[in-house]
Amino acid sequence: MRIENRDVVNKLNDYLNHRLSLTELVAWAEEAMMDGDFVGKDWKTVRDIVARIGVADVRAFGLTWEDCEKSLKGLGYQTKVEVTQAVNPQITQIHADPEKENNRCNPRNLRIKHTDRFSDWQHPIIEDGKLTKYNWMVQHRDNLHLGYKTDIGAFTYINAKYGVTIEDHVQIGSHCAVYSVSTIDDKTGPVVLKKNCRIGTHSTIMPGVTVGENAVIGAHSFVNRDVPDGSVAFGMPAKVILKNGSRKDTKA
Burial of 47 (0-12, 13-18, 19+ CB in 10 A): buried
State yes or no: pLDDT of 87 exceeds 90. no
Q: Which CATH class is domain 137-251?
A: mainly beta
Tens-place pLDDT, residues 15-44: 888 888 888 898 898 888 877 788 888 888
Closest residue by Cα to residue 189 from 163, 227, 222: 163
User: How is the chain split into domains, by residue range?
Assistant: 2-98, 137-251
State yes or no: pLDDT of 250 exceeds 50. no
pLDDT at 244 (0 to 100): 58
Q: What is the mean pLDDT of residues 198-223?
A: 93
3 state DSSP class of 61:
coil
Distances (CA, A) of 32 to 37, 52, 73, 122, 232: 8, 12, 20, 26, 13
Q: Which of 90-104, 204-218, 235-249 has the lowest mean pLDDT?
A: 90-104
CB 90 within 8 A of CB 18: yes
DSSP assignment letter at 166? E
- Compute the distance between CA of residue 2 and CA of residue 171 in angstroms, rounded to an integer: 20
DSSP assignment letter at 212? P
Number of residues that make up the chain: 252
More confident residue, 225 or 80: 225
pTM value surpassing 0.75: no
Count of C-beta atoms within a 10 Å radius of residue 132: 15
3 state DSSP class of 73:
helix
pLDDT at 112 (0 to 100): 34
State yes or no: pLDDT of 241 exceeds 90. no
Tens-place pLDDT, residues 148-192: 999 999 999 999 999 999 999 999 999 999 999 999 889 999 999
Longest dimension (CA), the chain: 69
* The amino acid at 247: R
State yes or no: pLDDT of 247 exceeds 80. no
Secondary element (H or E) of residue 43: helix 43-53
Tens-place pLDDT, residues 40-81: 888 888 888 888 887 776 655 678 888 888 888 888 888 877
Burial of 163 (0-12, 13-18, 19+ CB in 10 A): middle
Tens-place pLDDT, residues 106-134: 333 333 343 455 677 889 999 999 999 99
pLDDT at 116 (0 to 100): 57
